[in-house]
A and B are shown apart, each in its own frame.
Chain A
């Protein structure tokens, strides 16, 4: 059973957030943007006692709109999660029957789902924050009767156990006999009674022989037994020394992991390996735990939810890259936060969530496969939905209309017409308009697939960028970096990712992705046919004309070389060519110069960039369009 969606209100930095989760979801974002709050919300909903004292909720967990608001008067924290079958009859029979009271069925598709709502508000009589768990029906109203009994939430928790692995994964903490995974794995080990008997015999004999090894040990024991004579005057007690543990559990509980990284290196206890190794071991320990113990401690059909913070901690970038394939194969549902571009490099685009803190609290942006809005049912709606070729679906109980892609004009108008005579038509039309606008952010699967194939190299880093600059190729990439430094606006320092679109996919896809993810962007292209076609393609993506004109600059003189020459940089270019080993750099004629520049595009660009970076006055002589592009990044929103 997997969590399909999550709704959080009034929790720490989150005012109101609706998220969808997949089998693996990866959250990235600046520190303190609210990523951990999301993980913690899932933990609170799925465990009864969280934290050392009681529910773990304190007044600091309640979202405050203003600094001096009183948490006790807040409407309270709400965490609602919904688990759903992906197809009808997916859930195993035994689990479906056990959770029968609290599950709902989509009457059209036959898919079952369960909605859990946790509310935590200040309770005056109890003097603390009290959580209240209820299950909701398809219209999000609380279920009553047998469905409201406590035993239902206990059963539900059994099927969706949540585990948390924080960023500090220390072998000292996680590999003791009392740790959440290691401890329980050890305790579950079954030593056959015969072997246990043998072990105890051997330990006893060993103990006796050790005691006899040094006679002073016996004398010490005897002296100590004086204590019993003082304590109980009439009867004689005894004191003995155990140099060796009593039972196999005493031995097992001290079991240590020893590792060696290469075949001929010495074995070392885990705690003596580097932090990276320790951190990784804990992740694999979780895997062992699920494989061997989960079904026993929970239910055979239980599917764990793992909240994993920064799996890349202490790991070399290479290791971080390969880690993804292991983490994504961990059993159960994974909710991961990361700061690593290397880790993110392999994450499928739709599994990423960018978390930011704004004046409305924590917000999320991502590349959703569909968009939903709540509108009331009218009979005309059924026909429109039926004739939409699968693009539209409508769930009547919750009054939710979902569009699985961009809502085109014709279909949009059909929807508006359905409510033509409705009393609330102004409000409903507003909702539909917003839905249409949001759906313009849709990026189809094929396009994302193309991006995933081509954009491997840049993929990781660009999602962490504050702004994107889209250019045509490697040469422009190098030049702009140099220009930035020369103009006093170092692109790296200011979190700008320069994306050379030719090598990585089409520019308009990047523009659309940037818009969907809320990343400010601008672009510079050649002024030739190719460059102008890029601008046209971007414009065709439902961007406003004025916006496209402002954000996309083209070189008026044509391609880059033509532009540089037009702007009077010929002498500098000749020098650059000479510097990179072109013999007749200073003498060749213009057409030859152009050809030569184009033939050594990247090399000359690198050298030119180097010079511009060091010389601000030269930077100021660079083409206007390029300088404007760099300066425009400053205030870009």
Chain B
């Protein structure tokens, strides 16, 4: 056994070790924030693999984000070097993509399907389907693209187009909506593409239609671990349920229903109940919080009992952190300002005064983007490096959007979808004036490929040498798939040159950093010579946001903070109508929406390792606001 794994196992508490070594069937681990659940998960994986070095089975671990998956992969690689391949760690979506790549053929899905994650792509697919249907005389129109949201909801509940009518009760013109749903699915199948909901849905369809395939997965993966189980939606739960069948025993789920902040996505504390019931699972609670000082733990406990929708018999968090770097008075502070502007500037000042060395481990959490943007500006005014972290599905800069469009066009030369972005972004970047419509028409009349026509048209205009060189590289790649990498390297080199000058575009720099991280990650897990369509699939599954640079304060919404921890945390905007939000108040004090707001607050404050500052302004955007009820519930403000 590796030293790292041995040491880690030795450092576990008794309860944690009990969870790691559990082999008595399905287990639910209720793990509060900062309770060491990631360590428990990775130790368990490491231990399962280490104890079976002479065997070939794999362990499946499903996480909520790619970042969490990547972190786990790194830790497992340290624990059991050489055995990493036996651990399949990824999100639900990436696991489903893997299932469909290998076995989707039985549903008529080709292994090289495209993944459409952005709303724009999916709207475009629906629009194409509607247009074709119109020419066939069906009574649909392009306006019907608005039903995409309903379609998404149906798919996330695993409801097929053929049986969706009862689920559409209350919707005007149900039959038409059902038909539009059918058209959308057919169009996706026709262009060999899947959206995120399809990944889960089709995988579910595959294993429920063909139990033999589910049996195969049970044999190849005799141990499953699921992280953040409370955030799985019903589709994901049913997928697990069907894959497990009646006999699967080694199911290890980690959850905390006090941290459910994705209810809008279908997550529900009842998921945990269903798990316990359906699998007759045992429960282990890891209530000891090793992250936060005791004062924060107490405040969190006081806050969360106001929620009704949570697992009964849940133990309160126990403060377990022993080495504290700061005096008790600094552990949790409430500060009040006159206005949101003052809140922003004063907090910015405090952070600036703490010193540059601390910025990297400081986070500011806010309920809304607007709050964060105001904060970001204030920090910059005080010369503090800061960045708003957010999941990004698309690159920011024109250069990278163009690059991705080029790659997608090379992978699917017959597709027109990316042509507009490709041509117009290039026009903007180089000052050319190629017409999208002209390229399309010429390609369709001469029967040549879109990219060939574009290259010719662009080539005819007067160009700088560097631009002409890029076009030559792309032309080479269009004719010979093995030259795609060369073209890609050429374009990246060109972008790198642009970044080398002072005053380079920060968006471009961020995109380049994100690109490098994603490429490195993809090649470390799939090998160096990943085929293009595969690379694009993986790109779609990942966030385009790079890891922030050191010495930078991170600003995030509470959803973005999930799973993270910082030495210094500032939670701003703790006023009624901000947190809790106006919408949740409208729904009522006992509503599920309010409970989710409370959980948001719970998650926010439990990100703290050393010092927590809760702040509010007496007015926001000129309107007077009461202190947040959560402050009252935490016992930090007397109710008046």
Where the two chains meet, the residues of A that have a C-beta atom closer than 8 Å to any C-beta of B are 88, 93-98, 100-101, 104-110, 112, 137-139, 141-150, 396-397
Binary interface profile of B, 209-223, with partner A (CB < 8 Å = 1, else 0)?
A: 110110110011000
The 30 sampled A-B contact pairs (Cβ below 8 Å) are A93-B56, A93-B57, A93-B219, A94-B55, A95-B56, A96-B216, A96-B220, A97-B58, A104-B103, A105-B210, A107-B209, A107-B212, A107-B213, A110-B215, A112-B216, A137-B103, A141-B111, A143-B101, A143-B102, A144-B111, A144-B531, A144-B533, A145-B98, A145-B101, A145-B102, A145-B534, A149-B527, A396-B106, A397-B105, A397-B106
Q: Which residues of B contact A108 (CB under 8 A)?
A: 210, 212
CA distance A108 to B55 in the complex (A): 28
Q: Which residues of A contact B215 (CB under 8 A)?
A: 110
CB of B59 to closest CB in A, whole Å: 11
CA distance A97 to B209 in the complex (A): 23
Decide: A98 and B56 in contact? CB cutoff 8 A.
yes
CA distance A109 to B105 in the complex (A): 16
Q: Is B110 part of the binding interface, using a Cβ–Cβ cutoff of 8 Å?
A: yes
Q: Which residues of B contact A98 (CB under 8 A)?
A: 56
Q: Which residues of B contact A139 (CB under 8 A)?
A: 105
Q: Which residues of B contact A100 (CB under 8 A)?
A: 58, 216, 220
Decide: B110 and A96 in contact? CB cutoff 8 A.
no
CB of B512 to closest CB in A, whole Å: 26
From A112, A137, A146, contact of B526 by CB (8 A): A146
- Interface residues in B98-122 by Cβ distance below 8 A to A read 98, 101-103, 105-106, 110-112
Q: Which residues of A contact B533 (CB under 8 A)?
A: 144
Binary interface profile of B, 332-371, with partner A (CB < 8 Å = 1, else 0)?
A: 0000000000000000000000000000000000000000
Q: A137-B111, A141-B110, A145-B98 are in contact. List 15 more A-B contacts (CB 8 A).
A: A93-B56, A94-B56, A98-B56, A100-B58, A101-B102, A105-B103, A105-B212, A105-B213, A108-B212, A137-B105, A139-B105, A144-B101, A145-B102, A145-B526, A147-B102
Q: Which residues of B contact A396 (CB under 8 A)?
A: 106
Please name the residue on chain B nearest to A138 by beta carbon.
B105
Decide: B212 and A88 in contact? CB cutoff 8 A.
yes
Q: Which residues of B contact A109 (CB under 8 A)?
A: 212
CA distance A100 to B102 in the complex (A): 10
Please name the residue on chain A nearest to B97 by beta carbon.
A145
Binary interface profile of B, 75-111, with partner A (CB < 8 Å = 1, else 0)?
A: 0000000000000000000000010011101100011
Decide: B103 and A146 in contact? CB cutoff 8 A.
no
Please name the residue on chain B nearest to A112 by beta carbon.
B216
CB of A401 to closest CB in B, whole Å: 17
Q: Which residues of A contact B210 (CB under 8 A)?
A: 105, 107-108
CA distance A148 to B537 in the complex (A): 15
CB of A148 to closest CB in B, whole Å: 7
Which of B55, B106, B210, B219 gathers the greatest number of chain A CB atoms within 10 Å?
Answer: B106
CA distance A139 to B212 in the complex (A): 17
CB of A108 to closest CB in B, whole Å: 7
Q: Which residues of A contact B57 (CB under 8 A)?
A: 93, 97
CB of B547 to closest CB in A, whole Å: 25
From B56, B216, B219, B534, contact of A144 by CB (8 A): B534
From B98, B106, B219, contact of A107 by CB (8 A): B106
Which of B56, B110, B534 gathers the greatest number of chain A CB atoms within 10 Å?
Answer: B56
CA distance A105 to B105 in the complex (A): 11
CB of A252 to closest CB in B, whole Å: 30
CB of B507 to closest CB in A, whole Å: 31
CA distance A106 to B215 in the complex (A): 12
CA distance A458 to B56 in the complex (A): 51
Q: Which residues of A contact B212 (CB under 8 A)?
A: 88, 105-110
CA distance A176 to B98 in the complex (A): 49
Q: Which residues of A contact B527 (CB under 8 A)?
A: 149-150
From A137, A150, A397, contact of B102 by CB (8 A): A137
Please name the residue on chain B nearest to A94 by beta carbon.
B56
- Interface residues in B192-226 by Cβ distance below 8 A to A read 209-210, 212-213, 215-216, 219-220
Decide: B98 and A146 in contact? CB cutoff 8 A.
yes
CA distance A246 to B253 in the complex (A): 63
Q: Which residues of B contact A110 (CB under 8 A)?
A: 212, 215-216
Q: Which residues of A contact B101 (CB under 8 A)?
A: 143-145, 147
CB of A46 to closest CB in B, whole Å: 21
Please name the residue on chain B nearest to A155 by beta carbon.
B56
Q: Which residues of B contact A141 (CB under 8 A)?
A: 105, 110-111
Q: Which residues of B contact A97 (CB under 8 A)?
A: 55-58, 219-220
CB of B461 to closest CB in A, whole Å: 32
Please name the residue on chain A nearest to B207 by beta carbon.
A107
Decide: B216 and A143 in contact? CB cutoff 8 A.
no
- Interface residues in B9-59 by Cβ distance below 8 A to A read 55-58
CA distance A137 to B107 in the complex (A): 12
Decide: B102 and A96 in contact? CB cutoff 8 A.
no
CA distance A493 to B534 in the complex (A): 63
CA distance A608 to B101 in the complex (A): 75
Please name the residue on chain A nearest to B110 by beta carbon.
A141
- Interface residues in B49-75 by Cβ distance below 8 A to A read 55-58
CA distance A150 to B111 in the complex (A): 18
Decide: B216 and A105 in contact? CB cutoff 8 A.
yes
CB of B573 to closest CB in A, whole Å: 44
Which of B102, B106, B533 gathers the greatest number of chain A CB atoms within 10 Å?
Answer: B102
CA distance A100 to B220 in the complex (A): 7
Q: Which residues of B contact A96 (CB under 8 A)?
A: 216, 219-220
From A88, A101, A112, A142, contact of B111 by CB (8 A): A142
Which of A107, A112, A139 gathers the greatest number of chain B CB atoms within 10 Å?
Answer: A107
CA distance A252 to B557 in the complex (A): 74
CA distance A607 to B352 in the complex (A): 123
Please name the residue on chain B nearest to A151 by beta carbon.
B85
CB of A349 to closest CB in B, whole Å: 33
Decide: A148 and B105 in contact? CB cutoff 8 A.
no
CB of A37 to closest CB in B, whole Å: 31
Binary interface profile of B, 410-422, with partner A (CB < 8 Å = 1, else 0)?
A: 0000000000000
CA distance A141 to B220 in the complex (A): 23
Q: Which residues of B contact A105 (CB under 8 A)?
A: 103, 210, 212-213, 216
CA distance A107 to B208 in the complex (A): 11
CB of B233 to closest CB in A, whole Å: 25
CA distance A139 to B109 in the complex (A): 10
CA distance A168 to B515 in the complex (A): 60
Q: Which residues of A contact B55 (CB under 8 A)?
A: 94, 97
Please name the residue on chain A nearest to B104 by beta carbon.
A137
CA distance A142 to B111 in the complex (A): 8
CA distance A146 to B209 in the complex (A): 25
From B58, B106, B209, B219, contact of A138 by CB (8 A): B106
CA distance A109 to B211 in the complex (A): 10
The 4 closest A-B pairs by CB, nearest first: A107-B210, A110-B212, A97-B56, A98-B56
CB of A539 to closest CB in B, whole Å: 45
Q: Which residues of B contact A138 (CB under 8 A)?
A: 103, 105-106
Q: Which residues of B contact A144 (CB under 8 A)?
A: 101, 111-112, 531, 533-534
CB of B479 to closest CB in A, whole Å: 13
CA distance A142 to B534 in the complex (A): 12
CB of B429 to closest CB in A, whole Å: 32
Q: Which residues of B contact A148 (CB under 8 A)?
A: 531, 534
Please name the residue on chain B nearest to A397 by beta carbon.
B105
CA distance A138 to B216 in the complex (A): 15
Decide: B531 and A104 in contact? CB cutoff 8 A.
no
CA distance A98 to B57 in the complex (A): 7
CA distance A146 to B89 in the complex (A): 13
Decide: A143 and B111 in contact? CB cutoff 8 A.
yes
CA distance A148 to B534 in the complex (A): 11
CA distance A55 to B558 in the complex (A): 58
Please name the residue on chain B nearest to A92 by beta carbon.
B56
CA distance A100 to B59 in the complex (A): 13
Which of A105, A139, A149, A396 gathers the greatest number of chain B CB atoms within 10 Å?
Answer: A105
CA distance A150 to B531 in the complex (A): 13
Q: Which residues of A contact B56 (CB under 8 A)?
A: 93-95, 97-98
CB of A61 to closest CB in B, whole Å: 24
